[in-house]
Amino acid sequence: MLLFCLKGWQLSLHILVLEMGGYMKKWMKQISRWRFDKKMQLLVTASIVLTTLILLLVSTLSTVNSMKRQSIVLLQAQNSTTSENFRNSLENYKALAVAAVLDSSIQQFLKCAKTDTSDYARYMDSANNMLASIVNMHSDLNFIAVVGNHGNYLYKGAQAIYNSRFLQTYSLDSKQCKTVNSSSIKMSYNNLYYDGKFFSLNIYFPIYDTSHIKGELGLLCMNFTDPSLQQILEYNNSANSDTIMIDTDGMVISARETEKIGTTIDFITSIHAESGYFTKGGRLYLYQKVGDWKFYVVSSVPVMELYKGSIRTIFFMSFIMLFLVVISALIVKRIIKMVYRPLDKVVRKMDSVASGSLNTRINVEHMGEDFIKLARGFNSMMEEIQVLMEQVKLEQHQMEQIRFNALQSQIQPHFLYNTLDCIHWQAMADGNKEISILVKALAKYYRICLSDGHDIIPLKTELEHIRNYLIIQNMRYDNIINSEFRVDDDVSDVMVPKLTLQPLVENSIYHGMKVKEGKAGSIFIHARRIGDKVRITLADTGTGMSEQQIHDMNAQISQYEESFGYGVRNVNKRIQLLYGEAYGLHYLRNMYEGVTVEIRLPFVTEVKTVYGRDGDDTCIRF
């Protein structure tokens, strides 16, 4: 069920994101149709608003952090004062307890086992006097008592023993107390004494025999109205801050809300050092350890209380910034309208031109320097357009004349074919077989070159063209060229640009074989299909090239260089114009110490030529 709900929530969030994206695209599309001045107003206004929001946010954070730091400093000072006062009190209580248990009169009183002797009476009087002097010297001491192991005790206090309920309380309270420092002193803070009328600090210290190690004689009990703890009880602050005293186990020792005393706090795990602060449950807590004692003074304040002092400032700043944004937006709108006015004039003139008024011109008066250049450029452009229109009319007339001449010249190829055919039959009649073969090959060569005006022909036709070309070259150079054609059946009909192989074969003959001083050479043409591509390789056994020359040729094949072969560059350029940059020529060395050129083409067996308005080829589709 939980997984189903989670998937539903994710789907709802995804739909919400898609809807927001759709609204954003629609909004951006609508903005793109706005006038330029309106876009500029939106951009500048948005920039002002964004800058204002950032300044307001930075100011708010700065104010809030400042108030927070001030509150932390004040609460830390308060905690330090309370902690130091309580530490001094505890040190005094400890010193008083140590002095009391080491007093000889108390030691002798507790050691005397017989209560009916004169020594016991003398020791008791002396101990009573000592305890009375302690009570008189410490105004915050409610009572002090010594209890022996034999049940004898001494008690001195501002009130009688039955009012303090000492005998009924001390035993239970002393057992549930905790040790509060490295010594054996124990301490509690409660209202068990005096019938719960008020809270008091109870200190219990074991009395050991000073003449025997670990010889315990009794227990010293002291009850104080500690000013530091009393201050916490009576603490009242209009800022809803609070201060409590806890021990290191998290139990509340003193708090304004007395019902919390004796309970355990839930944030003790956040206290890790001598002092510090943390945030929990919407409140900021600051703590300070009480010296070497196992107590912490903890103050807290609601986080929102820290921000109350800055809310009025933030509202005032927000109102001022909103007023400034409105004024700035009005000023920006006015300025942009004035700045856009010259550009608007240009736009309106362009509309006139679009409607067919080529005599439109812009008056450059009362325009800024940049817009004057724009206006002059516009006027110059319109004048150039008029000149070009006249030139186009003249060239159109010339093109019509060229088309007429081209129609007349169409009979010339047929005249050439007929003439070569007559020479062929005359050579056959005279028995000159070589001339007959040469003339027949030449006729086929030119017939394929013309190809009825087609620029893209099947590979088998291109190969026939190469065979005729090799016949002519072998007769010219005394049969120094051997050839081998190996073409897969499924690529015979692949369409290739006309005269792709002839410039490459010519390069192999003139730059690879002819320079070998009449020595015979070979040309190998292979074609095969690789996936949706066709690879044609033309290898020769010529003089070859170095690796650097091969690298330079591949690097320059797509660039115009006067020193580089025009025919090869033309072949590569035509392939890339027809099929894209992924296709073309690539040279490498071969096993015959010659050169191999790879021709990469797409596997296309059908070509549709789309003609222009006047019959010219405008594009080729595959």
What's residue 201's pLDDT? 92
What's residue 409's pLDDT? 44
Phi, psi dihedrals of residue 296, rounded to the nearest 5°: -130, 140
Mean pLDDT for back-to-back runs of 10 residues, the chain (622 residues): 56 70 72 70 80 81 78 86 91 90 88 76 89 90 90 88 90 88 86 89 90 81 91 71 88 88 89 88 90 90 75 77 82 75 69 71 66 73 79 69 47 53 66 70 65 75 86 80 90 89 86 67 92 92 85 78 62 84 90 89 74 41 49
Fold (topology level) of 482-621 = Heat Shock Protein 90 (3.30.565)
What's residue 517's pLDDT? 63
Place of tokens 């109350």: 308
Q: Residue 298: which region, alpha, beta or left (left: phi > 0; alpha: psi -120 to 50)?
A: beta
Which top CATH class is 233-305? alpha beta
- Is residue 36 within 8 Å of residue 340, measured between CB atoms? yes
What's residue 329's pLDDT? 79
Task: Give the containing element (helix H, strand E) for 340.
Answer: helix 303-354
Q: What is the 3-state secondary structure (H, E, C) of 182-200?
A: CCCCEEEEECCHHHHCCCE
Q: Judge residue 454's burial from the number of C-beta atoms within 10 Å of its C-beta, 0-12 exposed, 13-18 middle, 19 or more buried.
A: middle
What's residue 193's pLDDT? 92
Give residue 378's Cα distance to chain centre.
Answer: 45
Domain ranges of the chain: 233-305, 358-408, 482-621
The predicted model scores a pTM of 0.48
What's residue 407's pLDDT? 41
What's residue 139's pLDDT? 87
Place of tokens 């308060």: 78
CA distances from residue 436 to 225, 421, 465 in whole angstroms, order as listed: 139, 9, 17
Which SS3 state, helix, strand or coil, does residue 524 take? Answer: strand
Task: Give the containing element (helix H, strand E) for 378.
Answer: helix 369-409
| DSSP letter for each residue of 63-81 | HHHHHHHHHHHHHHHHHHH
| Cα 486 from Cα 495, distance rounded (Å) | 17
Question: Which residue in 74, 137, 130 sits closest to 106, CA to CA?
Answer: 130
| Cα 397 from Cα 400, distance rounded (Å) | 5
| Cα 318 from Cα 324, distance rounded (Å) | 10
| Cα 149 from Cα 258, distance rounded (Å) | 34
Beta bridge partners of 534: 529, 601
What's residue 146's pLDDT? 93
